[in-house]
Chain A
Amino acid sequence: MKIFKTLGLLALCTSMLFITSCEKEDDNGEPNPTVQKGTFTLKLDHLFDGNAFALNQAYTNGSGESLEFTKVRYYLTNIKLEKMDGTVWAEPESYHLVDADDMTSTHIQLADIPEGEYHKISYMVGVDSTRNVSGAQQGALSPANDMFWSWNSGYIFFKLEGNSPQAPDGDFRYHVGGFAGANNAIALHNHSMHDQMLKINPNASPQVHIEVDIKKAFDGMHTISVAAMPKVHMPGMMAVHLSHNFHGAFVLDHVHD
């Protein structure tokens, strides 16, 4: 009797392993082993004024200032997908640190997603207020990643740094963050994928391409000039203006199967 039970359990566990992880099912409350899972890649293509972007290349912003970037890093977090029926899938522990200097960080792999067609993708550029006030974090949110203000607790949502002959000290440094009240610089992004739905199934590995045009950080709702404002290093109005501009930099380009 016992051996049958054990074997049965073993078979069950093995099949569960193949279909999905046991843990995830527990999270949803109702185990449903018949739901198939799939993956997709969120691919971030960095541009400057519509052309491929790279660090240490000369570009010109709308104010006619010459810019050479040495650092472009940002937090992309809280990724969610939505089906037409309103069902939402949210990536657990969804915190990603994207670095223009690190190709692997621009290809975010998402897994364990229930199969189906999704028409909306949303995410934050920034870190939700909860994680800004919850003490020592790990992984992408580890303070050792140098995206955390030690003296004025909170995450730096994005860093744009580089050199410019027009900047008073020859360089510009924008460290943008702030999660409270009028200084809130968290940017919520919503893209609809009606043109081509994101089709998740176990046999496909679709990609969602987001274009990030860095020039928009300078030329958007607000005009940012490195001569007039070379440094931002704390939450406040300047950081909020930069977050408005950077919000406009993210555009859904296409989805492919």
Chain B
Amino acid sequence: MLNTKRYLLPWVAGIFLLLFSCQREEPPLSGTFKGLEVPKHFPEPVYRFGENTPTEAGFSLGRKLFYEPLLSKDGSISCGSCHHQEAGFSDPGKAFSEGVNGKLGLRNSPAMANLAWFPSFMADGGINHIEVMPIAPLTDSLEMAESLSSILKKLQGHKTYPQLFEAAFGTDSITDQNLLYALAQFMALMVSANSKYDDLLNGKTTFSLPEERGLTLFREKCASCHQEPLLTDFSFRNNGLDLYSEDPGRARITLQESDRGKFKVPSLRNIAFTAPYMHDGRFNTLSEVLDHYGEGIKSTPNLAPELAALTLSETEKQDLLHFLSTLTDYKYITDTNFSNPQKN
């Protein structure tokens, strides 16, 4: 009896492995999967994964789902449709992105990087956890317009997803928790920490004179909100775009008029590639952004006090532009581990 079992076990295991390897259509990740590695010049991340321990299978599944148009109501768009890697996972050139049926969203599609450090999500900070973040774009009628239960049905009936969920979570019965876990694994591991700026902090490079002057100016005039090294303090500020902001911003969540027109301070990582800028994509270039901070700030009652007396000369703007270009992380925006697996 025992002997038969001993014979059978490797066979059964072997057949299982064979099944999985045959059905694997994903290209393998490059390098060894190490989970979340905290860059040595970064603080501790906010997201600790809890029961959602990252694995290579979970991360790969999250990546596949990120680029999966099945998640939208009519199968026309995926998360990647409005978050392009080459643009730092923003939607280049679009003030507002198109959802299903060509409907336009209400705010500019944000760049994505270092999300494991985010205490809140969205420009108004309404979302409190990385795992539940995707529910908003998945279900918003202006975005992917699909219900979670319908997504689960589509994935369950798909030819490969049940096996991929089995490999990642030990069960081929697909739940929304595991769907959100996989997406969270992918998103949380999207770490951008290899720009020239990061190299400078880690003593691996030196800045040109204009870049250095830009960094000094940045630390003097910008870094109180765009706090280093994540380049945001995640607070909500009104940066004087309008005398009266039609978009309530943070007030949409808090219902406090004193929060009208306040938006989460965005990280500046990969900023050279994430145009257009601001919550409504009103500025097409970084020069326009700097012109706003130099001379365009409206003195609205909710204005961030730091901005009331801000001035920028033309040479200062040039130096700041040099500094901002050091924030591009070319490794991040070309890393095939974050790319659409169907295109690799």
Contact = CB atoms under 8 A, between A and B. Distances in A.
A21 interface: no
Contacts of A137: 177
A148 interface: yes
Most chain A C-beta atoms within 10 Å of own C-beta, residue among B135, B140, B149: B135
Contact of B132 (A135, A138, A234): A135
Given A134-B50, A136-B184, A236-B255, A150 B132 contact: yes
A15 interface: no
Interface stretch (B87-95, B122-130, B300-308, B313-321): B122-130
Interface string B186-210: 0000000000000000000000000
B176 A151 contact: no
Nearest to A183: B255
Contact of A133 (B129, B149, B177): B129
Interface size grouping (class) on chain A: 10 to 19
A57 interface: no
Contacts of A132: 128
A43 B50 CA distance: 35
Interface string A155-197: 0000000000000000000000000000000000000000000
B131 A135 contact: yes
Interface residues of B, number: 28
B153 to A, nearest CB: 10
Main secondary structure of the interface of A (DSSP, over half): loop
Interface string B27-61: 00000000000000000000000101000000000
B177 A138 contact: yes
A138 B51 CA distance: 12
Interface of A: 132-138, 142-144, 146, 148, 150-154, 234, 236
The 3 closest A-B pairs by CB, nearest first: A135-B131, A136-B180, A144-B148
Given A136-B184, A142-B176, 9 more contacts: A134-B129, A135-B184, A138-B177, A142-B175, A142-B177, A150-B139, A152-B127, A152-B252, A153-B132
Interface of B: 50, 52, 122, 126-132, 135-136, 138-140, 147-149, 152, 175-177, 180-181, 184, 252-253, 255
